[in-house]
Amino acid sequence: MAQLFIQAQKFTLAGSGVTATATSIELSSFNMPNGDAIVSADLGTTNYGTLEPGTSREEIISFTGITSTTLTGVTRGLDFASPYTTIAGNKKAHAGGTVFVLTNNPQVYQDFASVSNDEVVTGDWTFPAAKPPKLSSYAAPVDDEDLSAKKFVVDTATGTTSINRITVAGNAGETVVAGEFVYQKLSDGEWYKTDASAASTCENVLLGIAQGVGTDGVAIAGGVLIRGTDSNQAGLTANTDYFLSDTAGDIATTAGTVEVEVGFSHPTDATKFIFSSRFDKFLTEDQQDALAGSSGTPSATNKFITADDVKAAATASKIPRADASNKIAEGYLNITDVNAATLTDGSDADSLHTHGAFGTTSKMVGAGEATTVKTYWNFTLPYLISTNVPSGDFWTAVGATQTSTISAIRHTASADAVNSLITTYGIFTDETVAGANSYIQFDQTKKVIVEFGLACLASDGSEQMGWGLANTVAPFSDFDDTTVDAACFTTDTAGKLYAHTSNAGVASTETEITGITLTNYNTFRIEFDPGVDVKFYVNGTLKDTATTNLPDGAADIKFGFGSGGNTNNVYPFFITEPAFSVEK
């Protein structure tokens, strides 16, 4: 705002004067002492005056224009103290003939620069060449807006100055904001947010910190900081190392999926971060960790292995490798240890193999256990059912015919009705666990495992079926039966396969098993651990671990299978002899 000043005398209001809200004031005359008319060019952009000076009705005004003897652009009732703005109570009406003077009110001095005040200079200040502005003592510029002293310029030109940040111009490849960590994609040269869950965005690429907002294909405001102090962070923990985060564009005090350390936080300012970029050909943190080795620390006496350290021919102090025929050369590995002799006759090799079929610690062929090693009775149940060995002797058949082979049986329903085949008695007699001449029951503590192959040769998926461990055949024709203790596989009328457990008279649990084609031959396995769980496997894969509604009654554990009917005569079973392991 330009300011010009003149010497003037007292003036008076013309006519009847002005109201308290008038924004133009007409004077009787508006001339300089020599009679020349005062015009806008004689004064500044904004000018000040006082109505009725020296009285209780004194009022400060400002005006911005002059038309003949009329002041225009008038602002009324200016305050007598800072901030010098309009006060409604200071606006007053003034009669014709009232005195008006151009004055050096406080508002005039507010526009002057003071050596003791912080000032914003809006005009151009020109200094003579012999008297340029100078600092009281040397200080290097800190903020982008700081003036640079001659020493700083010289030091920069000669390479002796200290620079705390380096930024480069660049376009964003996606929307970014100030403070986000970015990397430059070589394919288009644009900057994208880092993501420690993807190595291509953070390892062996040029990293930076966006200094402002950027959108796809548009320059990032303030550029990208590639080294130095960033002031666009928030809430950092002081003096702490930071890593790129799995959250796009962010950092964290712990490493992301890919470990990339990018610097550390300022010791006192939670908004500042000391950033050190990295680029191609640097060892990653993961590679550096690997260099520590698996035995000892690398040193002059503990060196890394190189290609020269391996040989296909026997050589002292070399590591053997396969020759052209993919074999280690004969005689390359020599066993000289004294224990080797005992291995040749088995006298000291119990840990390598077992002896005898019936030894105290022997393991006979059977279903075994998938995890924990224990001692078991192992056996299979042959399908002994024929004219000479009728139903009820060993197996009880209902509503079906059976055709036996040496290790399997074909079971076909005689009519569209409930049909089944189940062991007549419990699967195992062991007086040490069940009492003399008694069968193992669901309420005992010994683990029971059974594995067998089964195919429903031509199922249309409309009958309920079942196979496995149960006290009666009830769950084989009712997939969610709750009347008997059972741990078996069942199917519903929609052809869905389930892992079924039931606690007689209480409730049952069915967990659907998917991805199994029942018309194929599949291997089914049930591991019953009383009071703990029942594991159901199909084709060697654990499909369910049941822990609710486990069978626990004083009921014999039997094995069988069956269905609720035989719609369209398409439900023959083909099932192998079941192999059992019963914990000793």
**SS3 per residue for 297-359:** CCECCECCCCHHHEECCCCCCCEECCCCCCCCCCCCCCCCCCCHHHHHHCCCCCCCCCCCCCC
| pLDDT band for position 209 (cuts 50, 70, 90) | very high
Structure token digits, residue 337 = 């240890």
What pLDDT was estimated at residue 501? 98
Q: How far apart are CA 235 and CA 545, in angstroms?
A: 46
Sheet strands (E) in 121-189: 165-168, 181-184
Domain boundary assignment for the chain: 11-110, 164-298, 380-583
Using alpha carbons, select from 275, 266, 240 the residue that is nearest to residue 166. 275
What pLDDT was estimated at residue 568? 65
φ, ψ of residue 88 in degrees (nearest 5): -55, -40
Residues 6+ apart with CB under 8 A from 377: 364, 366, 428, 430, 580, 581, 582, 583, 584
Residues 6+ apart with CB under 8 A from 201: 183, 192, 193, 194, 195
> What is the DSSP code (8-state) at residue 556?
B
What pLDDT was estimated at residue 389? 72
Q: How far apart are CA 228 and CA 162, in angstroms?
A: 11
- Quick check: 384 pLDDT over 50? yes
Q: Which residues of 323-352 are buried (b: 16+ CB within 10 A; e: fewer)?
A: eeeeeeeeebeeeeeeeeeeeeeeeeeeee
> What is the DSSP code (8-state) at residue 171?
B
Please name every residue paired with 498 in a beta bridge, in sequence order, or none if there are none: 490, 512
Note the Cα 53 to chain centre separation in Å: 74
- Quick check: 477 pLDDT over 70? yes
- Cβ proximity of 537 and 525 under 8 Å: yes
Please name every residue paired with 182 in a beta bridge, in sequence order, or none if there are none: 193, 208
- Quick check: 281 pLDDT over 80? no
- Quick check: 355 pLDDT over 50? no
Q: Regarding predicted confidence, which is higher, 159 or 529?
A: 529
| pLDDT band for position 441 (cuts 50, 70, 90) | very high
| pLDDT band for position 152 (cuts 50, 70, 90) | confident
- Quick check: 406 pLDDT over 80? no
- Quick check: 73 pLDDT over 50? yes
DSSP string, 220-236: PTT-EEEEEEE----SP
CA distances from 49 to 25, 31, 61, 247 (A): 11, 15, 6, 63
Using alpha carbons, select from 266, 264, 242, 265 the residue that is nearest to residue 194. 242
Least reliable range by pLDDT among 112-126, 191-205, 323-337, 360-374 = 360-374
Class of domain 380-583: mainly beta
What pLDDT was estimated at residue 471? 95
Q: How far apart are CA 521 and CA 383, in angstroms?
A: 18
Q: How far apart are CA 77 and CA 96, in angstroms?
A: 18
Using alpha carbons, select from 214, 195, 302 the residue that is nearest to residue 256. 195
What pLDDT was estimated at residue 365? 43
Q: How far apart are CA 443 and CA 504, in angstroms?
A: 12
Q: How far apart are CA 359 and CA 369, in angstroms?
A: 19
Structure token digits, residue 478 = 């009712």
- Quick check: 185 pLDDT over 90? yes
Q: Is 197 helix (H, G, I), strand (E, B) or coil?
A: coil
Structure token digits, residue 19 = 């109201």
What pLDDT was estimated at residue 184? 96
What pLDDT was estimated at residue 330? 65
| pLDDT band for position 279 (cuts 50, 70, 90) | low
CA distances from 522 to 451, 461, 514 (A): 11, 16, 13
- Quick check: 478 pLDDT over 60? yes
What pLDDT was estimated at residue 340? 47
What pLDDT was estimated at residue 160? 67
Using alpha carbons, select from 565, 309, 393 the residue that is nearest to residue 462. 565
Q: How far apart are CA 267 and CA 239, in angstroms?
A: 5
Q: Regarding predicted confidence, which is higher, 114 or 216?
A: 216
- In this structure, the dihedral spanned by the alpha carbons of residues 111, 113, 118 and 119, taken in order and rounded to 10 degrees, is 60
Q: How far apart are CA 362 and CA 314, in angstroms?
A: 42
Using alpha carbons, select from 560, 431, 385 the residue that is nearest to residue 484. 560
Q: Is 550 helix (H, G, I), strand (E, B) or coil?
A: coil
Decide: pTM greater than 0.85: no
Q: Is 154 helix (H, G, I), strand (E, B) or coil?
A: helix
Least reliable range by pLDDT among 178-182, 353-357, 410-414, 524-528 = 353-357
Least reliable range by pLDDT among 286-290, 298-302, 337-341 = 337-341
DSSP H or E run through 71: strand 70-72
Give the mean pLDDT of the chain: 85
- Quick check: 124 pLDDT over 80? yes
φ, ψ of residue 110 in degrees (nearest 5): -60, -25
Using alpha carbons, select from 386, 414, 384 the residue that is nearest to residue 400. 414
495, burial (CB in 10 Å: exposed 0-12, middle 13-18, buried 19+): middle
Which amino acid type is present at position 137? S
- Condensed to tens digits (0 to 9), the pLDDT of residues 291-328 reads 777 777 777 788 777 877 778 777 777 888 787 778 87
What pLDDT was estimated at residue 328? 79
Q: Which residues of 40-59 are buried (b: 16+ CB within 10 A; e: fewer)?
A: eeebeebbbbbbbeeeeeeb
- Condensed to tens digits (0 to 9), the pLDDT of residues 222-237 reads 999 999 999 999 999 9
- Quick check: 10 pLDDT over 80? yes
Q: How far apart are CA 260 and CA 197, in angstroms?
A: 11
CA distances from 65 to 73, 252, 492, 526 (A): 6, 61, 97, 102
Q: How far apart are CA 408 and CA 459, in angstroms?
A: 19
- Quick check: 335 pLDDT over 60? no
What pLDDT was estimated at residue 373? 58
What pLDDT was estimated at residue 350? 45
DSSP H or E run through 49: strand 47-51
| pLDDT band for position 331 (cuts 50, 70, 90) | low
